[in-house]
Every structure is written in structure tokens, then in C-alpha cells.
Copies of this chain bind each other. A is one copy, B any other.
Amino acid sequence: MSLVVVGSVAYDGIETPHGRVDRILGGAATYIALSASYFTPPKIVAVVGDDFSGEDHELLASRGIGLEGLEQKPGKTFYWSGVYSRDMNERTTLRTDLNVFAEFDPKIPPSYRGQPYLLLGNIQPALQRSVRAQMNGVRLVGGDTMNYWIKDYRDELLETIREWHFLLINDSEARELSGHYNLRKAADAILGMGPETLVIKRGEYGAMLFRRDSHFVAPGYLLDNVFDPTGAGDCFAGGFTGYLASQGMAPDEASIDRRELARAAVYGSVMGSFCCERFGVDRFRTLTRREIDRRFNEFREFTEF
């Protein structure tokens, strides 16, 4: 059973205190799918330009990622570049060229339509909703959004997330969406908008998972060296959803208990941490499931009391 991932596939230019790279493979769907591929076979829906390299195509295919929905169009692939502050807690966007992504109109290939898991990366809420409508028999659907949609496309966004099982956003987005600064109050308000599960990502501090009757706090992993945080939040989403899919989890089953959601959040945190160890998606060229499970066990060791 597969996880369908919709979002951007891009080329990124990134500058961190550790160096600078340009035109490396990036984009939310790329990070989500690479991360999820360690748990379940993902299938991508995205658009790239005719400059998209065979090598990058090959990297995704080598991780067992379905690419039937990766449309190639005349023109250039979405390009983003940014520079991180010295402590890497802030980043400034230098350039955003939407290119072929500007006209992205996700078409779900027939072979994807019956898949049970759907993860909607950060794109226009109406497009997220159209994807949801093209799928038959989805058992678990969730996604991400960002401040821009929260602010300027609020009604559309509210209509979209109403039918999601889970929403994954960061703390400032949770505050903006709910109008509450306090995260417990923010979570209560957002759970009233539809999603049964809310995951609030907190960067280096990990993530918090909220349900109506409980919450769970997953710490961040303490890296020796944060090389490049680009994509860490998407890798969290991929690990979280990939793990749930691998366990056959769906919200209408009695089996989706708090403990499994908590484990999914820890796998999310694990995958986010690996992402930061190299530039872009480089860590996924060598990462093994064995390393992932070893780090998952480390989380147990440094949180048990």
C-alpha cells in the first residue's frame, strides 16, 4: 500500500555557514518522498521542467519512489535560493522562480487513485483539495501549509483542512492559523477546524502532537553539527506519515492509538535530524533503515526516566 505525495520538486541554491551549493535537488515532495521511502513506497505527483536531470530522476527511482505522476513540461524547474543565519535559526530567501511550478495543476495518474495514504505538501489549498477529490478510498490524508495561505487564502484553507485527518505545521503557523499565542490554546482551536491530529513542528526543539484527549512531546535530536536544515520539516512529515502507512494505520481503525502516533512523531524527528547532516538531500544517498532504527532507540534512551 502506497503513500501518494503531492508538492514541489525543485532546484535549490543554499548557503549555510558550512558552505554554498547551487541547483541541487530539493522541494517539499522530494524531501517527503525520500524520507517516507524508508517506511513505505511513496508515489510522487509534481511537475519539473526540461532541465530536470536524469541523475536526480535516478536518485528518486533508486529509493523505490513512484514517478509516473512526475510531469515534465517545457521550461525550467522551480528554483529557490536562500541563505541561513550563523545560528541557522533564520533564513532569508534570495530568489524564488516558480517557472513550470506556477501552472502546477496536479493530475493523479489512475494507478495512484486507489492508494490509501495521501500527504499534501505545501501548495495552494484549492489544489490540495482537487487532489483529495481525485483519490478514491483514501484512508488517511494530511498535509502541510504555510503563513501565506493562512493569511491570504484563509477560507479556502479552512475548507481544505476540514477533511484532513492530520495537519503538520510549525509553531508560528499554528499561532497565525488559530489566533492564539499559547500553543495549547492554539492546538485546541485548530483541532476544532477538522483535523483529528495536529503536529506542531518546532525545529531543533522537535515537535508536539495533539489529539483532543492527549498530547505528546517529541524532542529534537541533538546533532554535533547542523549542516543544512533545508527540508527537515518535510522529512519529519515523510517519516511521520511513512511510519503510519507502514503500520497500516488509519483513523477509522481502533488500532491508531496514541502510542503509534507518538512513535510516528519520533520517526519524524529522527528523519528531520538525518536531513540536517548534509546539504540538501545528500544524506539520503547513503542512509540505511538500520541507522534510522538505531537513532530511534537513542531517542528512547535520552527520554526515558
Contact = CB atoms under 8 A, between A and B. Distances in A.
Nearest to A263: B305
Given A266-B305, A305-B262, A215 B224 contact: no
Interface in A146-205: 181-185, 202, 205
Interface residues of A, number: 34
A260 to B, nearest CB: 9
A223 B185 CA distance: 9
A304 B262 contact: yes
Number of identical monomers bound together in the oligomeric complex? 2
Contacts of A216: 302-303, 305
A94 interface: no
Interface string A73-102: 000000000000011000000000000000
A41 to B, nearest CB: 25
A182 to B, nearest CB: 7
A222 interface: yes
A224 B182 contact: yes
Contacts of A288: none
Nearest to A266: B305
A223 B87 CA distance: 28
A93 to B, nearest CB: 23
